[in-house]
Chains A and B, each alone.
Chain A
Amino acid sequence: MLDIQNLHAGVDDKNILKGISLKVNAGEIHAIMGPNGAGKSTFASILAGKEEFQVTQGTMMFEGEDLSELSPEERAHKGVFLSFQYPVEIPGVTVTNFIKTAINQTRKAQGLEDMPAGEMLKQIKQVSEMLDIDRKFLSRSLNEGFSGGEKKRNEIFQMAMLAPKLAILDETDSGLDIDALRIVASGVNKLRSDQNAVIVITHYQRLLDHIVPDFVHVLMDGKIVKSGTKELAYELEEKGYDWIKEALK
């Protein structure tokens, strides 16, 4: 599904990603872990198409197309979804109106008619029940005055509504208490199938207890320095990152 080869990218003259290679197949969950400043969030933003970053070398093929050729909205239309570490507040646009616009714009790009209002309402109801979201919440302005946990839950709500092929969860666990974490994780798990894939970016192993990865990668100084299975995450939790740094020297 996703095939990244030797990706170099940065902002202005500063290189942040220094040669990432990563293959993600449908049905897989990949976790990307690493210390602060390793480039994890930059990597997520670049996959989603944030324009302030420039790809200087390498390719990121998604279902046969190079993502760097596509605008952020085109990537979304192809099924790439980024759950933001810091979701943006948009006063004056309700959650419902926002998701409705996002879905219908995606459908339009795919040559489909607008989703009928009845169908939309049904889906909104199902997904908000699954994520234990109060209906009042849906008529509030997007992320405005939301708590950290509400913002993250709203991200997963949108993810469930858009049903992407590739979901990138950027520190979705930060700001969540244990109950919210469980709800969010079970939401992600319910959406899993052999047709889609998830990249989980996190500092901590605790989210990976709930969303169990097939592969764990360690990102350090803009490169993937070690890959393994879920046991690697436990090892990192226990020993931190210094032993990897030592081993690299």
Chain B
Amino acid sequence: MELKEKFISSFLAVDDYLNEGSLVHDIRSEAIKNFEATGFPTKKSEAWKYTSLKALLRDDLSIFPKQEATVEFRDVRKYFLHDLDTYKIVFVDGQYSAFLSTTTHEGMDVCLLSSALTKDKYKAVIENYFNQVAPQHGLNALNTAFAKEGAYIYIPKHKEVDKPIEILYFYTGAESALMLQPRNLIVVEENAQVQIIERHQSLSEHAVLTNAVTEIFVNQRAQVDYYKIQNDQAQASLIDSTYVKQERDSVCSVHTFSFGGQLTRNNLNFYQHGEHAMSIMKGITLIEGKQHVDHNTLVHHIAPNCESHQDYKGVYDDRSTGVFNGKIFVEKEAQKLNAFQQNNNILISDKATINSKPQLEIFADDVKCSHGCTIGQLDEDALFYMRARGINEKEARGLLMYAFANNVLESVKIPELKKRINRIIALKMGVKIGFDL
């Protein structure tokens, strides 16, 4: 049986188990119908022209692990921001791990989507927000149909969250051929502020495919800083689809650090519904071997007087391949807008490839939109300058690439995270970083 048919028929089998006391039974039934109608994306569709899922979508994939896996804290400690106090929502092979997590219901909710989808006290929020911004086709529909677990974060009005929230998904590899469907719902009410870090991490070399969907609602004057760490094992693949709906005067930034994994596809979509909304999308991609990272971004400007900034940098070695497809869509009503998009790439090896495609569709007549894209090698004059000061060619190249990528880190607001990412970049580039005055 083909994978698509297998998933559809298994939905019937798990329907009861998934939807016991569920508030979203109808949404799921609708979703599986949508999945049936649209199926998996193929290279025939423009948005997937440079990324093929064919090799990953093996017929033996299953959505739910047969047994529960556990991990020891000492084995995963390094994946947390351990030098910092944080709230933690941790999943192991898609199941919630209570003992690794630090959740809260004090003045806000930092907990599990599974409880939010079944308990009456969350009903109003679920009805208003769950599945309200992610378009329902293909992979999103599959996720909606099967998503059992994920992070649920609700920050009420005027609440400034005291410490960052970490969402961690661990994969043990105890079972092979899993296609997991994590689902996060984040609602930040008026004038509230929160910082969130999301990481997917395999703990073994077994192949795993994750189809994650995150919906983020940023209400009036709210501020959200979201960081994605994608530094996984060479066999792990991630499709990360994130949808952000912004109301007036809100600010939302998403930083995506793509440092590894077999295939990473980021669908990052912003919808600006209120005036003076600000969307910031930044990314660093450092890959090697045969790794593949695809950034597919969309900013949909619906309201006037808004801003969006995109700055993506990539360094590609060996036979790695990168894609940047950035779409800015400006509605007729979205006047006085300032949209900026930048994508800079360095190819270290002759065999590495990057496909960079800006796409601007503008229906308003009083807007400022700019985009720029560069693909190149390192600056030879800078290399000579460094070598003339005694820095070996290899180190000099490393230092230049480190500097190139590191630039994006300036906007990271959590110093411990910045330090951590800085260290990963330095390590990847073979650079010893030192002290600063």
Binding site for B on A (CB under 8 A): 48-51, 71-73, 75-77, 81-82, 84, 87-94, 96-98, 100-103, 105-106, 109, 117, 121, 124, 135, 138-139, 141, 158, 162
Contact = CB atoms under 8 A, between A and B. Distances in A.
Contact of B389 (A71, A96, A97, A102): A102
A88 B400 contact: no
Interface stretch (B32-40, B104-112, B302-310, B402-410): B402-410
A82 B388 CA distance: 7
A75 B393 CA distance: 13
B50 to A, nearest CB: 28
8 contacts: A48-B384, A81-B388, A84-B385, A90-B403, A91-B407, A101-B391, A101-B395, A102-B386
A76 B434 contact: no
B395 A92 contact: no
Contacts of A109: 390
A90 B398 CA distance: 13
A182 to B, nearest CB: 25
B132 interface: no
Interface residues of B, number: 29
B379 A88 contact: yes
B327 interface: no
Give the most central of B384, B405, B407: most A CB within 10 Å: B384
B387 A88 contact: no
Given A96-B437, A101-B432, A139-B436, A88 B390 contact: no
Q: Is the interface of A mostly helix, strand, loop or mixed?
A: helix
B81 interface: no
B435 A117 contact: yes
B388 A76 contact: yes
A72 B436 contact: no
B433 interface: yes
A94 B436 contact: yes
Contacts of A51: 384
Q: Is the interface of B mostly helix, strand, loop or mixed?
A: helix
Give the most central of A50, A98, A101, A141: most B CB within 10 Å: A101
Nearest to B396: A73
Give the most central of A48, A73, A82: most B CB within 10 Å: A73
Interface in B362-387: 379, 381-382, 384-387
Nearest to B435: A117
Contacts of B381: 88
Contacts of A121: 437
A76 B387 contact: yes
B392 interface: yes
A82 B402 CA distance: 25
**5 residue pairs, one from A and one from B, having the closest CB atoms:** A92-B403, A76-B390, A72-B387, A106-B390, A88-B385
A77 B382 CA distance: 18
Contacts of A71: 387, 393
Nearest to B385: A88
Nearest to A89: B382
Contact of A100 (B382, B404, B434): B434
Contacts of B388: 48-50, 72-73, 75-76, 81-82, 84
Contacts of A93: 399-400, 402-403
B414 to A, nearest CB: 19
Nearest to A107: B390
Given A84-B385, A88-B385, A139 B437 contact: yes
Nearest to B432: A101
Contacts of B436: 94, 96-97, 139
A49 B406 contact: no
Nearest to A72: B387
Contacts of B402: 92-93
Nearest to A161: B389
A98 B396 CA distance: 10
A76 B396 CA distance: 14
Given A93-B399, A96-B435, A135-B437, A73 B390 contact: yes
Nearest to B402: A92
A82 B384 CA distance: 11
Given A73-B392, A73-B396, A94-B437, 16 more contacts: A50-B388, A72-B384, A76-B390, A77-B390, A81-B389, A92-B405, A92-B407, A96-B435, A96-B437, A101-B399, A101-B432, A102-B386, A102-B389, A117-B434, A135-B437, A141-B403
A105 B391 contact: yes
A50 B384 contact: yes
A84 B405 CA distance: 26
A4 B333 CA distance: 72
A153 B433 CA distance: 24
A4 B46 CA distance: 63
Contact of A105 (B390, B403, B405): B390
A205 to B, nearest CB: 27
A72 to B, nearest CB: 4
B314 to A, nearest CB: 15
B340 to A, nearest CB: 18
A49 B379 contact: no
A106 B388 CA distance: 11
A81 B389 CA distance: 7
Nearest to B433: A97
Nearest to A106: B390
Contacts of A81: 388-389
A37 B132 CA distance: 68
